[in-house]
Amino acid sequence: MLFRNQYFFKSIFNKISEGIIIVDEKQQIIDTNLATGTMFGYQKNYLKKKSINILIPEEYHSKHKIYFKDFLDEGQNKTMGYEQNIHGVKSDGQFFPIEVSLTPFKIFEKKYVLVLVFDISFRVNHERSIRELNSALENKVKKRTAELKATIVKLEKENKKRIKAENETKNALIKEKELNDLKSKFLSMVSHEFKTPLSGILTSAMLISKYKNPEQQDKREAHLKIISEKVHFLNGILDDFLSVEKLEKGKINYMPTKFMVSKIVEEVIYNANTQLKEGQNLLYPEEIDGFALYQDEKVVELILANLVNNAIKYSHEDSTIVLKITQDDLNTVFSVKDNGIGIPEKDQKNIFKRYFRADNVLLTQGTGIGLNIVKHHVENLGGSISFESVENKGSEFTFSIPNIAVYEKSLTY
Ligand code: ADP
């Protein structure tokens, strides 16, 4: 019976596919099953009486000795290789990954350890290939993500370019429309502004030819005066157009010189007096004798004349226009106040736009150029212009310029 039992256990011992090693307390191998020989590459019985170290990598021999002793003293089951990597050494010196389960036991007061060895090469290789596959996959994903990002960046760039091109086209279209609007405004304004004086000139010329008697000289002169005034007027409009053209192309060369403010005021007042309507009164400052400017004299005169002429043009007969001038260390401020027709509130924001004319002046001659030129000049001289106006009450235009030109003499605008 004993023999049969021994045989039975021995054949199970050898059939088990895991390695079974019995070790004594000196770490000497007492017995191994067949699977251990196959796993570590040794013939049957070769391992008997050999130290267990033969199956352990050399670098662990000394550590293992201590562990083994502690383990025997504790007398507890133990597993190795689940959490940390451990290796067995084959007869040809090759390492292979293993898991080990250790069971201490005692027979006749002698301590032994039953070592169960699992060859986990397959699992480890499998895990490694999964890891490699994973990292290959991750790399691929990284590469694709980078490619995608690059494509997105490219698309975004192209989109920005497209939007920019679209905006440019839009702006060009808006500009073209503005230009067309200006052109048509300009044409209707030119035909109106030129036709009226031209037909006046024609009528006067025709009438002159009819006054043949010497005593009709005063009539001829009256018509000659009308012709001269209208030619003057047309000339003024053409000058305005040329100024706009020059300002637009930056062709104006400002030439600052030192001059007295009173000099240009006298000039402006002298010309304005010829334009005053019946009963209109132009008040001007008298205490300006000490005011000097270092600016472009002709341009400052043109600005002031424009504002005074507008005040006359857009005020009724028997009204008063007041010109005021003040000066401090830095600036000179001119203001022209009338109690004329004023500017409708809705038109005030457009008043400095070229060719713009308010709704309430359409029966009065004008081009809508003057204030636009004035504003450009004032700003080019380093100053600023503003106005206050109430319809049917009056307007006050004020501009301020530095006493000393801020631009260089040679600077071309
Ligand atoms: P124009 O007098 O030839 O029409 P401007 O550029 O000088 O052109 O003036 C533009 C517009 O501003 C005028 O058409 C008018 O509507 C308004 N305006 C300018 N000055 C006055 C003023 N003193 N009173 C009322 N409206 C004015």
Q: What is the pLDDT of residue 3?
A: 60
Residue whose CA lies nearest to ligand 1 atom number 14: 357
Those residues with Cβ within 8 angstroms of residue 174's Cβ, 6 or more apart along the chain or in another chain: none
49: exposed, middle or buried (Cβ count in 10 Å: 0-12, 13-18, 19+): exposed
Residue whose CA lies nearest to ligand 1 atom number 19: 310
Q: What is the pLDDT of residue 412?
A: 43
Ligand 1 atom with least separation from CA of 361? 16
Residue whose CA lies nearest to ligand 1 atom number 16: 358
Which protein residues are within 6 Å of ligand 1, measured from CB?
310-311, 314, 338, 340-343, 351, 357-358, 361, 366-372, 395
- Phi, psi (deg, nearest 5) at residue 352: -90, 0
Ligand 1 atom with least separation from CA of 369? 6
d(CA 55, CA 162): 72
Those residues with Cβ within 8 angstroms of residue 57's Cβ, 6 or more apart along the chain or in another chain: 87, 89, 95
88: exposed, middle or buried (Cβ count in 10 Å: 0-12, 13-18, 19+): buried
**pLDDT tens-digit profile of 163-181?**
999 999 999 998 888 778 7
Residue 322: strand, helix, or coil: strand
How many angstroms separate the alpha carbon of residue 174 from the centre of ligand 1? 26
How many angstroms separate the alpha carbon of residue 293 from the centre of ligand 1? 27
Give me the residues of the chain with pLDDT under 50, please: 409-413
Structure tokens at 268: 């402006």
Residue 10: strand, helix, or coil: helix
How many angstroms separate the alpha carbon of residue 316 from the centre of ligand 1? 14
**pLDDT tens-digit profile of 177-216?**
877 877 777 777 777 778 888 888 999 999 998 888 888 8
Contact call for residues 338 and 395 (beta carbons, < 8 A):
yes
